[in-house]
Amino acid sequence: MTASTTFGCDVANVVYERGQRQAFCGLAGIVWLHRKIQDAFFLVVGSRTCAHLLQSAAGVMIFAEPRFATAILQERDLAGMADCNQELDRVVAEVLGRRPDIKSLFLVGSCPSEVIKLDLNKAAERLSAQYQGRVQVFDYSGSGLDTTFTQGEDTCLLALVPHLPALPATERNLLILGTLPDVVEDQFTRLFTELGINTVHFLPPRRIEALPPVGAGTTLLLAQPFLGETARALQKRGATLLTAPYPFGVEGTLGWLRAATEAWGIAAERLDAVTAAPIARAQQALSRQRALLSGKRITFLPDSQLEIPLARFLARECGMELVEVATPFLERQLMAPELALLPAGVRLTEGQDLEAQLERLRTDRPDLTVCGLGLANPLEAEGLRTKWSIELVFSPVHGFDQAADLAELFARPLVRGALLQV
């Protein structure tokens, strides 16, 4: 970042593209959701393709029994020759019989189950009544029809909102929305406690019985930018949404914490005192990665909806040059603070016309391209260095202490590429 750089992306100059898309479906969200909600089981009602996708994305170890599975729809199910609800009830009974530790069961819809119009909402109601007191049953759609893979978390958390307890009218709490690794959640909890905010809850919780309360006294702060539907549902239940940068890097984390402290009336001096040491550690750790990334050119292809806040971090804190920043969907309200921090004139694209974007990419030849798994290997074969966007979703990358780790994820393919050329 040079002294002459100006910031503030003009949303009027956003290019909207519609055409062929390349993205994972929302089932991929199960990979990090099942790790977070420790007493939950995710049962996908789908095809063998769905099962293979989950197994590949999760990298299941042979010694671990995962808390997700696929109830595979056979040809008789798709042809309407079998009673899918009876089969589903049988599979659920088998799962709960094997896993008595499970306290919540998510029925996850897929493209095949939606095509045959299988009503998982009714199935969840029926199974909830059948297993009342034993397990809570929820349902949501992980279908890849016209969605991107992070929206699976949004539809999952949206399904939980009606079940959140009511916050008493005389009480107040801070609700952090978005899946965070436990270590990051613990770090943020300590920071909020030091700042004087003691009633902090997280959605999703680690266990289903710890669903956070929500009401008029709830202040809502998003940790992930792809949860717009859940945020709006929480606002309908009385929560007040704070707009802030997302907690990626030093600048984003500080701005995120500042939004909370201002809402709670905490003095700026206290925020400065509490964050001084972690900021100093983060900046020192970032210096090595900044030396590797500064001046390098990067393009984001649309995939995770993390593209804009990550681009802001890389441009402002790591000195990278943004060639193009493309995102599947651009929610103006949720992204306003981030857009204000992007370099002016950056090429910003919403949506995807795959062939057109690939043509621009081949012309631009950036040093690094952030993209989905399906594009990474073909681009590498063309001599373009890539970074998988899905890795940025389930890695611990939020907060001060993870700022250098986040930068390293982008530096690693550049270092590997340099070594291969030796």
Exposure string for 74-112, b = 16+ CB within 10 A, e = fewer: eeebeeeeeebeebbeebbeebbeeeeebbbbbbbbbbb
What is the percentage of the chain residues whose pLDDT exceeds 70? Answer: 91
CATH number of residue 348's parent domain:
3.40.50.1980
- Domain presence at residue 163: no
HEC secondary structure over 292-344? HHCCCEEEECCCCCCHHHHHHHHHHHCCCEEEEEEECCCCHHHHHHHHCCCEC
- The angle at the Cα of 32, spanning 27 to 34, to the nearest 5 degrees, equals 85
pTM: 0.91
The pLDDT score that the predictor gives to residue 62 is: 42
Residue identified by tokens 């998510």 is 106
- Domain presence at residue 341: yes
102: containing domain? 26-147
Q: Which of 270, 290, 317 is the last residue of a domain?
A: 270
Is there a single domain that holds both residue 220 and residue 285? no
The 10s digit of each residue's pLDDT in 348-379 is 999 989 999 999 999 999 999 999 888 999 99
**Is 318 a known ligand-binding residue?**
no
Is there a single domain that holds both residue 186 and residue 302? no
- Domain presence at residue 209: yes
Is there a single domain that holds both residue 81 and residue 17? no
Going by pLDDT thresholds of 50, 70 and 90, the confidence category of residue 83 is low
Is there a single domain that holds both residue 182 and residue 117? no
| CA–CA separation, 34 and 277 (whole Å) | 33
Inform me whether the pLDDT recorded for 57 exceeds 80.
no
Is there a single domain that holds both residue 309 and residue 365? yes
Is there a single domain that holds both residue 406 and residue 287? yes
pLDDT averaged over every residue in the chain: 89
**Is 84 a known ligand-binding residue?**
no
Q: Where are the beta strands (DSSP E) in 5-164?
A: 15-18, 40-46, 68-72, 104-109, 136-141
Inform me whether the pLDDT recorded for 294 exceeds 90.
yes
Q: Please state whether beta strands 15-18 and 348-352 pair in parallel, antiparallel, or not at all (unpaired).
A: parallel
Mean pLDDT of 215-225: 97
| CA–CA separation, 100 and 77 (whole Å) | 28
Residue identified by tokens 């671990």 is 64
The pLDDT score that the predictor gives to residue 79 is: 46
Is there a single domain that holds both residue 400 and residue 333? yes
Q: What is the DSSP string of 143-189?
A: --TT--TTHHHHHHHHHHGGGSPBPPTT--EEEEES---HHHHHHHH
Is there a single domain that holds both residue 296 and residue 365? yes
8-12, 158-162, 183-187: the lowest-pLDDT one: 8-12
Helix axes 84-98, 120-130, angle to 10 degrees: 50
Is there a single domain that holds both residue 97 and residue 207? no
Is there a single domain that holds both residue 196 and residue 234? yes
Cβ–Cβ < 8 Å for 134, 70: no
Domain count, the chain: 3
**Is 9 a known ligand-binding residue?**
no
Inform me whether the pLDDT recorded for 305 exceeds 50.
yes
